[in-house]
A and B are shown apart, each in its own frame.
Chain A
């Protein structure tokens, strides 16, 4: 009997390893394939193999060759700038708003929360025409700051909800005893609430940073000149260019953006997980 359980356990463990190995292959294959493609000579993928027979750095060089339609360095900087400022802006506005909703009773509070809940369900880009008209009326076509403002606005409803939920779980006693000691609201916010909300701040910051990187629609509506492009538009055009689609150059560009982001993610994942599970379990 004892041996039987042990044998069964070994079998199921072996099955687990096999399944996980298969899953890992499925995950890694497309990524390796992209790395391989980026070192393959030529533009098409027909002759591409994961381990190129005659590897070349041409595609990486081409990215920075300064072609009019391929300003990879510029796109990279644009994306970085937009992501960083969206992140900063959303963290600041979301934490202040969540603090107000979590700690104060004021007129319009309940309506405000319901409004946030509704707004996060209507996709912002379904209002494309409006944003296009807005940009034209304000004379801000191709303007990154307008885009940043739009992204921050899009981040506010959902993230405020997450953040408020997290702040609600911080005991009120902490605020109250600080208040007795004469601390102002703003001081309580900076010295008690913010430090304790760190896991959720990490989540909000991550959403703010990755949001613009995942957006294709708003940016392509407002940014129309190649030098103002962000990476998503630039790389999409590279693949879908009728004249000279180049998957291999795209692969090189994709790797240069994926590696830094992927590494940051893996390093910070513990923070995100804490915030996400706390937010998830508390709702």
Chain B
């Protein structure tokens, strides 16, 4: 008896429990069986089995479809195959995560045995599962919705960028093929694409900078103005000033589209006429369209900043100003050296979101005059920003892969700027 134990220990030294358990876990559950945790082992085993039973068809067709995008018309619809393929990849990802957990669990418990520590009992395991699983349990449904509604679509459209999916390669009549980086190469080498891309990108950046800065400045300026101590009717003024925020945006943009209309709009016919200015081609001249859009966005966007600034202003302690008054500082100096820095620090994250919002501000561009006026020879209109151009490429000229490639470029652009900003303002800090 003693002899057997000795051998056993020697053998264990050569080939520790953790290694054996991990190795056996190649078949999920076996490692847990080896660690004598039978119920856990059963769970892993059954989980794996049901995973394959449930998903084997999907994985089979999905992965095949993902690689080939179909081989035969009309049997195979490349786009549906691509979608199934991406779902298969997501499912595989979760399968691998479970598989990895299985390895880790076997290794951890094997290690405990190597160190002659007791393994947790069934009851303890149950409690661990409950307490460690709690955050997963409550965020699980959100994660599922997120995968379904956001992550899958984004992966799908990223994948499209590497295919030749367009009007001429479009199921069910034709198959779609992988073309690698061709679309990206074309964006930068085909003259008309390159010039359109840089025109649109340029205007997108200009639009983002001017529109956001304009709305932020108007908002802060008016908030400071209304916050003056001696001003009366504050409540009424504030209520009127936030009206543009209270009315749904799509409604106001469409209203402005009517007001700015070249032929029957009130701005040309009444306001400008009142001052004796001849009508301005708001809708048909790109430059004037841009001016109109900036003005409208200023109108739409300032109340939000106004409201938040007002909140910040009311929280600034008044003794800061008293000291400044004793020093004889002028109103402007007080604003420049006390109010403004405090506002900017407090509102940095909100101000940054104004910029990312306008970068992707599709509604105003599209609803005002459809990104127009049209520019001959290109698919983008005179006021199109990247997102509205992408929308047009998708919905109007069916250049899906080009649209997808642009989406990737846009995402990289936004994400790198935003990450850089967040790092700088330190609001990305954890805890």
**Residues of chain A having any CB pair with chain B under 8 Å:** 9, 12-13, 16-17, 19-20, 23-24, 26-28, 30-31, 33-34, 37, 44-46, 48, 93-94, 96-97, 99-101, 104, 106, 109-110, 112-113, 117-119, 121-131, 133-134, 137, 149-150, 152-154, 156-157, 160, 168, 185, 210, 213-214, 216-217, 221, 232, 235-236, 239, 247, 250-251, 254, 257-258, 261-263, 265-266, 269, 272-274, 276-277, 279-281, 283
Known A28-B240, A97-B142, A266-B239; contact A129-B160, beta-carbon cutoff 8 A: yes
Q: Among the listed B83, B142, B146, B250, which residue makes an inter-chain contact with A130, where contact means beta carbons less than 8 Å apart? A: B83
Docked CA distance A182–B142 (Å): 28
Docked CA distance A266–B310 (Å): 15
For residue B30, CB closer than 8 A to chain A, the reply is no
Chain A to chain B contacts (Cβ below 8 Å), 14 pairs: A16-B225, A17-B231, A97-B143, A112-B139, A119-B151, A121-B418, A134-B152, A149-B145, A152-B145, A213-B248, A236-B250, A236-B254, A239-B257, A262-B243
Q: How far is the CB of B176 from chain A (nearest CB, A)?
A: 12
Q: Which 9 A-B pairs have the closest CB atoms?
A: A153-B149, A127-B153, A277-B311, A130-B156, A130-B153, A283-B427, A265-B246, A100-B135, A104-B135
Task: Report whether B257 and A276 are in contact in the complex, using a CB–CB cutoff of 8 Å.
Answer: no
Interface centre among B141, B237, B251, B349 (most CB of A within 10 A): B251
Q: Which residues of B contact A12 (CB under 8 A)?
A: 331
Docked CA distance A94–B145 (Å): 11
For residue B360, CB closer than 8 A to chain A, the reply is yes
Q: Which of B178-186, B191-199, B390-398 contacts A (4 or more CB under 8 A)?
A: B390-398
Docked CA distance A153–B149 (Å): 5
Task: Report whether A126 and B245 are in contact in the complex, using a CB–CB cutoff of 8 Å.
Answer: no
Task: Report whether A265 and B251 are in contact in the complex, using a CB–CB cutoff of 8 Å.
Answer: no
Q: Among the listed B136, B151, B252, which residue makes an inter-chain contact with A106, where contact means beta carbons less than 8 Å apart? A: B136
Task: Report whether B240 and A157 are in contact in the complex, using a CB–CB cutoff of 8 Å.
Answer: no
Q: Which of B36-44, B51-59, B399-407 contacts A (4 or more CB under 8 A)?
A: B399-407
Docked CA distance A251–B424 (Å): 45
Q: How many residues of B contact A (CB 8 A)?
A: 96
Q: Which residues of A contact B250 (CB under 8 A)?
A: 213-214, 216, 232, 235-236
Docked CA distance A13–B227 (Å): 12
Q: Among the listed A13, A104, A109, A221, which residue makes an inter-chain contact with B228, where contact means beta carbons less than 8 Å apart? A: A13
Task: Report whether B230 and A121 are in contact in the complex, using a CB–CB cutoff of 8 Å.
Answer: no
Docked CA distance A37–B146 (Å): 43
Docked CA distance A266–B246 (Å): 7
Known A46-B264, A265-B245; contact A130-B239, beta-carbon cutoff 8 A: no
Task: Report whether A123 and B307 are in contact in the complex, using a CB–CB cutoff of 8 Å.
Answer: no
Q: Which residues of A contact B261 (CB under 8 A)?
A: 45
Task: Report whether B349 and A283 are in contact in the complex, using a CB–CB cutoff of 8 Å.
Answer: yes
Q: Which of B15-23, B63-71, B408-416 contacts A (4 or more CB under 8 A)?
A: B408-416
Task: Report whether A101 and B308 are in contact in the complex, using a CB–CB cutoff of 8 Å.
Answer: no
Interface centre among A13, A121, A232, A273 (most CB of B within 10 A): A121
Q: How far is the CB of A256 from chain B (nearest CB, A)?
A: 10
For residue B226, CB closer than 8 A to chain A, the reply is yes
Known A129-B160, A133-B80; contact A119-B150, beta-carbon cutoff 8 A: yes
Task: Report whether A128 and B391 are in contact in the complex, using a CB–CB cutoff of 8 Å.
Answer: yes
Known A129-B403, A153-B150, A273-B307; contact A16-B228, beta-carbon cutoff 8 A: yes
Task: Report whether B410 and A126 are in contact in the complex, using a CB–CB cutoff of 8 Å.
Answer: yes
Smallest Cβ-Cβ distance to B270: which chain A residue:
A49
Task: Report whether B264 and A281 are in contact in the complex, using a CB–CB cutoff of 8 Å.
Answer: no
For residue B132, CB closer than 8 A to chain A, the reply is yes
Task: Report whether B157 and A283 are in contact in the complex, using a CB–CB cutoff of 8 Å.
Answer: no
Docked CA distance A239–B256 (Å): 12
Task: Report whether A254 and B251 are in contact in the complex, using a CB–CB cutoff of 8 Å.
Answer: yes
Q: Which residues of A contact B362 (CB under 8 A)?
A: 123, 125, 216-217
